Chains A and B, each alone.
Chain A
Amino acid sequence: MFDMLGISSQALFGQLLIGLINGSFYALLSLGLAVIFGMLNIINFTHGAQYMLGAFAAYFLLEYAGLGYWWALIIAPLAVGVTGIIIERLFLQWLYKLDHLYGLLLTFGLALMIEGTFRNFFGSSGLPYSVPPELTGGRNLGFMFLPNYRGWVVVFSLAVCLTTWFVIERTKLGAYLRAATENPTLVRAFGINVPRMITLTYGFGVALAALAGVMAAPIYSVSPQMGSNLIIVVFAVVVIGGMGSIMGAIITGFGLGVIEGLTKVFFPEASNTVVFIVMAIVLLIRPAGLFGRGA
Chain B
Amino acid sequence: MQRVVDQNATDTARSRSELIAFIIMTVALVFAQAVVYPLFLMKALCFALFACAFNLLIGYVGLLSFGHALFFGWASYVCAHAAKVWGFSPELAILSGTAAAAGLGLIVGALAIRRQGIYFAMITLALAQMMFFFAVQAPFTHGEDGIQAVPRGRLFGFLNLGEQTIMYFTVLAIFLACFVLIYRIINSPFGEVLKAIRENEPRAISLGYKTDRYKLVAFVLSATFAGVAGATKALVFQLASLTDVDWPMSGEVILMTLVGGLGTLFGPVVGAFFMVTMENYLTTIGQWVFVVQGAIFVVCVLLFRRGIIGELARLLRIKL
Contact = CB atoms under 8 A, between A and B. Distances in A.
Interface of A: 37, 43, 91, 94-95, 98, 100-102, 104-106, 108-117, 119-120, 228-229, 232-233, 235-236, 238-239, 269, 272-273, 275-277, 279-280, 283-284, 287-288, 295
B294 A112 contact: yes
Contacts of A115: 290
A269 B137 contact: yes
B254 interface: yes
Contact of A113 (B115, B118, B291): B291
Interface in B279-309: 286-291, 293-298, 300-302, 305
- Determine which residue in A108, A114, A238, A276 has the highest number of CB atoms from chain B within 10 A of its CB, and name it: A108
Given A91-B302, A108-B251, A232-B129, A120 B121 contact: no
B297 A116 contact: no
Contacts of A119: 287, 290
B294 A95 contact: no
Interface in B108-134: 111-112, 114-119, 121-123, 125-127, 129-130, 133-134
B294 A110 contact: yes
B272 interface: no
Nearest to A229: B129
B54 interface: no
Contacts of B114: 283-284, 287, 295
Given A104-B118, A295-B115, A112 B133 contact: no
A64 B317 CA distance: 57
A100 B63 CA distance: 11
Nearest to B254: A105
B206 to A, nearest CB: 17
A284 B110 CA distance: 9
Contacts of B66: 104
Interface string B121-151: 1110111011001100100000000000000
Contact of B126 (A94, A105, A235, A269): A235
Contacts of A273: 130, 133-134
Contact of A116 (B127, B129, B290, B296): B290
B247 interface: yes
A104 B302 contact: no
B123 A279 contact: yes
A4 B188 CA distance: 64
Interface residues of B, number: 41
- Of B111, B129, B258, the most chain A CB neighbours within 10 A belong to B129
A9 B265 CA distance: 60
Given A105-B258, A236-B122, A269-B137, 5 more contacts: A43-B121, A108-B251, A120-B286, A120-B287, A276-B127
B111 A109 contact: no
A235 B298 contact: no
Given A100-B117, A109-B294, A276-B130, A235 B301 contact: no
A116 B251 CA distance: 14
A232 B301 contact: no
Contacts of A98: 305
B287 A277 contact: no
Contacts of B112: 283
The 8 closest A-B pairs by CB, nearest first: A109-B297, A116-B290, A112-B294, A113-B294, A276-B130, A116-B291, A236-B126, A287-B114
Given A100-B118, A276-B130, A235 B295 contact: no
A109 B293 contact: yes
A277 B286 CA distance: 35
29 contacts: A43-B121, A91-B298, A91-B302, A104-B118, A105-B254, A105-B258, A108-B294, A108-B297, A109-B296, A110-B294, A110-B297, A112-B291, A113-B294, A113-B298, A116-B290, A116-B293, A117-B291, A119-B287, A232-B247, A233-B129, A235-B122, A236-B122, A236-B126, A239-B119, A239-B122, A273-B133, A277-B130, A283-B123, A284-B114
A238 B130 CA distance: 16
A117 B291 CA distance: 6
Given A112-B293, A269-B137, A287-B115, A239 B126 contact: yes
B84 to A, nearest CB: 25
A205 to B, nearest CB: 15
A115 B290 CA distance: 8
Residue of B114, B115, B290, B301 ringed by the most chain A CB atoms within 10 A: B301
Contacts of B133: 272-273
A37 B254 CA distance: 22
B64 interface: yes
Contacts of A116: 287-291, 293-294
A120 B292 CA distance: 12
A101 B287 contact: no
Contacts of B305: 98, 102
Contacts of B287: 116-117, 119-120
Contacts of B297: 105-106, 108-110, 112
Contacts of B129: 229, 232-233, 236, 276
A174 B251 CA distance: 36
Contacts of A102: 301, 305
